[in-house]
Amino acid sequence: MSAHKRIVCLANSRKSGGRCIAGKEFPAPGAWVRPVSARPTAELADQERGYASGELPQLLDVIDVPVLNRAPHTFQAENIQIDLARCWSKVGTLPFHHLSAFVDPHEPLWPAGHSSGYGSNDRVPLEVAQTIHSSLRLIQPEDLIVRVRIEGKEINEPKRRMRAAFRHCGNFYNLVVTDPDTETLLFAKPDAEYRFPGAFLCISLGEPLGNWCYKLAASLLLPLSTMG
């Protein structure tokens, strides 16, 4: 394979104390790429994903990622192991109004019908997930609301959490948000429901947790006018 993959960054989410970066090959249309480390949990540390300047990738950066080989893991077929000997390079920024060119076909977000206590259509049985051959989607959801509230009071493990509630392909979804940028934006505000018309979502099917794999809102991609 080539010595690098040029991608537009569409996800930069929390994972196992590091980050999970994902994007699509640039220019559009391009295949999904998830750069990963050689760790069992595959997350990227800051020093493994930085530019030579010391800066770190941001959503919509167009990046040359040095890679070694494909590293698919069960349904996460998009994984490619990074080359730690070379820095990542930023080659540009995708204008927000060009993002629609990277949206995936209008299809349900993997099998629906399985919900957790607070979520809706937010998980897939592990045995079903193992038959899936993709784990990333970029969508423009209908009626997107991000809800910030305390969960877990009834089991004495309260935690402030945000979820993305929206409709897509006739299904209602309520998914945990793992996007640090959105957390910075909304955790500074009161618990409430926040609407984001015109936003895009990157949805990821996460690694197994017990007998389930959870659908996560890995990034919320917003017009600049909504990010104040």
pLDDT tens-digit readout, 211-221: 999 999 999 99
For residues 63-90, give the mean pLDDT: 92
Task: Kindly list the distances between the CA atom of residue 116 and the CA atoms of 134, 164, 176, 190, in Å, as whole numbers in the listed order.
Answer: 22, 14, 11, 25
If you ran DSSP here, which 8-state letter would residue 14 be given? E
Task: Kindly list the distances between the CA atom of residue 190 and the CA atoms of 101, 157, 161, 193, 194, in Å, as whole numbers in the listed order.
Answer: 34, 20, 12, 9, 10
48 vs 68: CA distance, rounded Å: 14
178 vs 166: CA distance, rounded Å: 16
- Average pLDDT taken over every residue of the chain: 91
Compare 224 and 44 and report the one with higher pLDDT: 44
CB 94 within 8 A of CB 184: no
My answer on whether omega of the bond before 29 falls inside 30° of 0, hence cis, is yes
Band (pLDDT 50/70/90 cuts) for residue 224 is: low
- For 41-61, give one letter per residue: b (16+ CB within 10 A) or e: ebbbeeebbeeeeeeebebbb
Band (pLDDT 50/70/90 cuts) for residue 39 is: confident
